[in-house]
Structure 1
């Protein structure tokens, strides 16, 4: 069986830094599992790893894949991601390196580690327009409520403001009569990988503090300018990619619909809620070996411990 590993967890928990150190120890190449980091030009708001951060503390460069794949006006699906990564995995193994999935997009992770098959469902543009009009007139909560009636499982996972995914779930149900999660599980069987999944978490108060600090850091690094540059390049705030967490709120500010202070507050609040949903998603998977970080955690020591656990699990 092919060997792969994954490091998952909520946003801002510190996955990227620890994953680089783990990769250096076990001889891995990292595959990003983040639905926003696939977009070019979306760096600060997506917390995309920099070139400097791709080096271990002892100076070894760790290759990262599935970053900057498409332009922001391209609708990049989980099926697209699955197809690309399933070509990458044997290439990485062929270099005698271990593929290490790292990220917080649960569906991306699961689409790789479990053999999902995706039924191609065409876009119903008229139905999408109808739902967008309903959201404008009656609010996002109304459209989310429609989803809750037909697919409560997906509705519980999605925030009402994640309108793109809410509408897609309704679109799939309209086309097939089945919830979107059922489409993903068609043909599900035992994983074909020797797999080790590591989960990182931390006490909620500390995680929320880190989230708030990260948002402040993003603003200081030039997040507003990044969004302005994307708009100047012709990418609309209405694009699905630009409705991502952080970008949507900065768009509201730039369009005069809220103050910068309000936008920052919204990003912090919505990121905290997003982190909670990520944890809910990952906690369902009992294959995950969890490690809790604290303010005093020695990350290099933890990386060594995780590397040992990955080696033990995939070689069993």
Structure 2
């Protein structure tokens, strides 16, 4: 316990391809605890290559909160909060500390902060209708529907974030505003004694890593992975089918572009996503920034481990 809160919890975040998975794995293995993944897409089974899950054989520490749901199962931030906190609490009980790792800001906040999520029936008629619009006419059409009804909420949600657009439309049906709801969520009260570390490479280095990672994904069989998921019905999921890497390859399988064009689009989409992740880190303002141009994965891991170990000792 630190300051009356359970902990300590070390959160390793950063843009995609920044090295955070390797750093968190080293920290957790040194501290004798698992890594709790905080990634909205890695929760889905069979989506391995495109979500950059660390292969089992390469993990030094146990990796939790991956492969916890099928792509066709509704899995919200509220469910993630419940399940991830159970993992964190067990780690605190058995190892005296916990390590979180990921780039989904909302999911990280949901775990370490006091956040109450609005209720919603995943099987409700309106939700099914809105998800059908996204599947049949595309995410942009669904977002346009929200913009016409609630421009302020539409401005707060990315058009490709189908789940949040659907939720905003559900709230509009109830006479409420998603933008107003989320304003209340921004007031942060900590749930854990957590410290966040943001790994930030230099931009040119980051973009080169992203390009290399995408090439490696295609070489490792991303197209075959997407083809198998397509045969299994991934298009029925408005969330999983829109994941970066998957939607672009699905477009190529439909003949809308070549695989080479899809590969380049994945690189562009990933770079844009990395920019959004960096923007979230800046807005959040709590992270200790680790410039990855000035240190190595091992150096960053040592920095986090030393701090976490001191916190564990101080709490004893």
TM-score of the superposition, structure 1-length normalised?
Answer: 0.86
Q: Distance between the aligned counterparts of 1:137 and 1:151, measured in 2?
A: 15
1:173-219 CA distance string (max 9 Å, x none):
44351225725846966313211111111111111111111111000
**What is residue 29 of structure 2 aligned with on the other side?**
24
Aligned counterpart for 2:39 among listed residues 34, 37, 49:
34
**What is residue 299 of structure 2 aligned with on the other side?**
301
Q: Which range is displaced more, 135-144 or 95-104?
A: 135-144
**What is residue 96 of structure 1 aligned with on the other side?**
95
Shift of 1:96: 2.1
Shift of 1:263: 0.7
Q: Do 2:113 and 2:190's aligned partners in 1 also have CA atoms closer than 8 Å?
A: yes
User: What count of residue pairs does the alignment treat as equivalent?
Assistant: 306
Q: Distance between the aligned counterparts of 1:211 and 1:144, measured in 2?
A: 32
Q: Distance between the aligned counterparts of 1:137 and 1:292, measured in 2?
A: 36
Q: Distance between the aligned counterparts of 1:251 and 1:162, measured in 2?
A: 17
Aligned counterpart for 1:128 among listed residues 127, 130, 138:
130
Tell me, which stretches of 5 or more residues in structure 1 are unaligned?
Answer: 56-61
Shift of 1:140: 6.7
Q: Which range is displaced more, 90-99 or 136-145?
A: 136-145
Q: Distance between the aligned counterparts of 1:266 and 1:224, measured in 2?
A: 14
Aligned counterpart for 1:52 among listed residues 57, 60, 67:
57
Task: Give the secondary-structure state (helix, strand or coil) at the position aligned to 1:200.
Answer: strand
Distance 1:134 1:38, change over 3 A: closer
Shift of 1:152: 5.7
Shift of 1:24: 2.2
**What is residue 243 of structure 2 aligned with on the other side?**
244
**What is residue 151 of structure 1 aligned with on the other side?**
153
Distance 1:186 1:199, change over 3 A: closer
Q: Distance between the aligned counterparts of 2:222 and 2:241, measured in 1?
A: 13
Q: Do 1:29 and 1:64's aligned partners in 2 also have CA atoms closer than 8 Å?
A: yes
Q: Distance between the aligned counterparts of 2:138 and 2:188, measured in 1?
A: 41
Q: Distance between the aligned counterparts of 1:18 and 1:196, measured in 2?
A: 15
Task: Give the secondary-structure state (helix, strand or coil) at the position aligned to 2:156.
Answer: helix
Task: Give the secondary-structure state (helix, strand or coil) at the position aligned to 2:280.
Answer: helix
Q: Which range is displaced more, 191-200 or 68-77?
A: 191-200
Q: Distance between the aligned counterparts of 1:100 and 1:137, measured in 2?
A: 34
1:2 aligns with 2:6: yes
Q: Distance between the aligned counterparts of 1:15 and 1:276, measured in 2?
A: 16
RMSD, aligned CA: 2.8
Shift of 1:105: 0.6
TM-score of the superposition, structure 2-length normalised?
Answer: 0.86
Q: Do 1:29 and 1:99's aligned partners in 2 also have CA atoms closer than 8 Å?
A: yes
Distance 1:238 1:79, change over 3 A: closer
Q: Distance between the aligned counterparts of 2:283 and 2:181, measured in 1?
A: 16
Q: Distance between the aligned counterparts of 2:106 and 2:165, measured in 1?
A: 15
Task: Give the secondary-structure state (helix, strand or coil) at the position aligned to 2:199.
Answer: strand
Distance 1:268 1:42, change over 3 A: same
**What is residue 254 of structure 1 aligned with on the other side?**
253
Distance 1:147 1:227, change over 3 A: farther
